[in-house]
Amino acid sequence: MPDLEPPGPLPKRQFASDNYAGVCPAAWAAMERANAGHAVGYGDDAWTKRACDLIRNVFEIDCQVFFTFNGTAANALVLASLCRSYHSVICHRHAHVEVDECGAPEFFSNGTKVLVVEGEAGKVDCEAVTRCAKRRSDIHYPKPKVLSLTQATELGTVYDTSELDAVSETARRLGLRVHMDGARFANAVASLGVSPKEVTWKAGVDVLCFGGTKNGMAVGDAVVFFDNDLAAEFDYRCKQAGQLASKMRFLAAPWVGMLEDDVWLNNARHANAMAELLEAELRKLPDDVGVEVTTPRQANAVFARIPSVIDSAMRGERGWCYYDFYGPAGARLMCAWDTTERDVTDFVRDLRQVAGVAGS
Ligand SMILES: *Cc1c(COP(=O)(O)O)cnc(C)c1O
């Protein structure tokens, strides 16, 4: 018998990323059901058909759906398919496609350049987009072709319907296609309480990379083309990039488990609610502790500046993990589908203790 014990003590739940969480029961159960017997490979199976149909139901439109192993591939291949090598993609300075994909969009597009703009709280500023697109119109400048938005943003904020209408109107005026990086699309929809179509194709989004992993699946993001013409030959692009799953049913089945009975939205609502609780608890800390929430919390992330002495004790002796890669935004505390109220209160209790708050 192989040793199936985990290597070392079970780590506690952390606030580092929603991808620290495991697979949610609905996704797991669907994988298990998909494991019964044989099925055709490469996506010609009933699970894949069902998952695509459910995604079409979610968006209430006849869209084209593809599955990739992760979000980086989804984003990079979509941008490559929307652009020629001499084009450019405009996105926010903190966008995942710019800072967290190791140049995959540029690589898969054979040179399409990513151009960055500023904007409050992780959202692109329409005037900055216009300036960037119009900076030059000569042959020496990489021709702007796509505006890429992240929903929910890298700073945990959410574009509401009217903000999306405004940015996509800006894009349309500039002749840009709109790509949405929806690694946390579920959290955005849960936060806004709108139907998914209101914040996608009705708001001018041409292609959505619909994240499944951070919402409770093991692996697999969906690419959703709302303009069917743009999806032409995307299947070849996936195959060439090593993103066509041979046993596709195992990428598709979790989507069936997540989309039936709105598990995807319930997972996201839960993660958002835990972040809301965490934010409320941090705001209750006495002012002299010096913890400051820096960005409006709208989805499942809380950003807070934590004084360095407290920060080192939290990460060191108390064993908490979290990131702080967005500089002035401070520590990023990310909640997941399985974060519990207890996790939140444990974290805040440790924080109060290391800060020496009386009575903690
Ligand atoms: C996690 C994430 C992705 C996808 O990342 P992978 O690790 O490639 O799955 C894309 N965009 C954003 C904003 C993310 O947070």
Regarding the beta carbon of 72 and ligand 1, being less than 6 Å apart is answered yes
Three-state secondary structure readout of 135-189: CCCCCCCCEEEEEEEECCCCCCCCCCHHHHHHHHHHHHHCCCEEEEEECCHHHHH
What is the position in ligand 1's atom list of the atom closest to the CA of 221?
9
Q: What is the mean pLDDT of residues 157-169?
A: 98
In the block, residue with structure tokens 């809380």: 302
Convert the pLDDT of each residue in 208-223 to its tens digit: 999 999 999 999 999 9
SS3 at position 359: coil
**pLDDT given at position 100:** 97
Same domain? For 207 and 86 the reply is yes
Chain mean pLDDT for the chain = 96
CA 96 to ligand 1 center in whole angstroms: 7
Regarding the beta carbon of 156 and ligand 1, being less than 6 Å apart is answered no
CA 287 to ligand 1 center in whole angstroms: 34
Regarding the beta carbon of 148 and ligand 1, being less than 6 Å apart is answered no
Give the residue among 260, 262, 240, 242 at the shortest CA–CA distance from 252.
Answer: 260
What is the position in ligand 1's atom list of the atom closest to the CA of 153?
13
Same domain? For 285 and 251 the reply is no
- CATH classification at residue 85: 3.40.640.10
Residue 218 domain-assigned (yes or no): yes
Same domain? For 211 and 154 the reply is yes
Helices in the chain by DSSP H: which ranges?
A: 25-34, 46-59, 71-82, 96-99, 104-108, 126-134, 161-173, 185-192, 234-240, 249-259, 263-283, 308-315, 341-355
**Is 314 in contact with 354 (CB distance < 8 Å)?**
yes
Residue 58 domain-assigned (yes or no): yes
Residue 1 has pLDDT above 80, yes or no: no
Domain carrying residue 31: 24-261
**pLDDT given at position 10:** 61
**Is 299 in contact with 275 (CB distance < 8 Å)?**
yes
**pLDDT given at position 358:** 80
Convert the pLDDT of each residue in 223-240 to its tens digit: 999 999 999 999 999 999
Determine the residue type at 197: K
Same domain? For 213 and 232 the reply is yes
- pLDDT category, 360, cuts 50, 70, 90? confident
Three-state secondary structure readout of 313-357: HHHCCCCCCCECCCHHHCEEEECCCCCCHHHHHHHHHHHHHHHCC
CA 302 to ligand 1 center in whole angstroms: 17
In the block, residue with structure tokens 């459910």: 54
Pairing mode, strands 87-92 and 143-150: parallel
- CATH classification at residue 298: 3.90.1150.10
**Count of domains in the chain?**
2
Least confident of 4-13, 247-256, 271-280: 4-13
Convert the pLDDT of each residue in 85-102 to its tens digit: 999 999 999 999 999 999
Residue 242 domain-assigned (yes or no): yes
Regarding the beta carbon of 157 and ligand 1, being less than 6 Å apart is answered no
SS3 at position 65: strand
CA 339 to ligand 1 center in whole angstroms: 19
Rg for the chain (alpha carbons), in Å?
21
- Residues 72 and 77: their CA atoms lie apart, in Å, by 8
Which two structure tokens, joined as six digits, stand for 64? 């084209």
Distances (CA, A) of 255 to 22, 202, 261, 263: 15, 23, 11, 10
Regarding the beta carbon of 179 and ligand 1, being less than 6 Å apart is answered no
CA 82 to ligand 1 center in whole angstroms: 19
In the block, residue with structure tokens 């401070």: 330
CA 213 to ligand 1 center in whole angstroms: 9
Q: What is the mean pLDDT of residues 292-303?
A: 97
CA 220 to ligand 1 center in whole angstroms: 11
Regarding the beta carbon of 68 and ligand 1, being less than 6 Å apart is answered no
- pLDDT category, 8, cuts 50, 70, 90? low
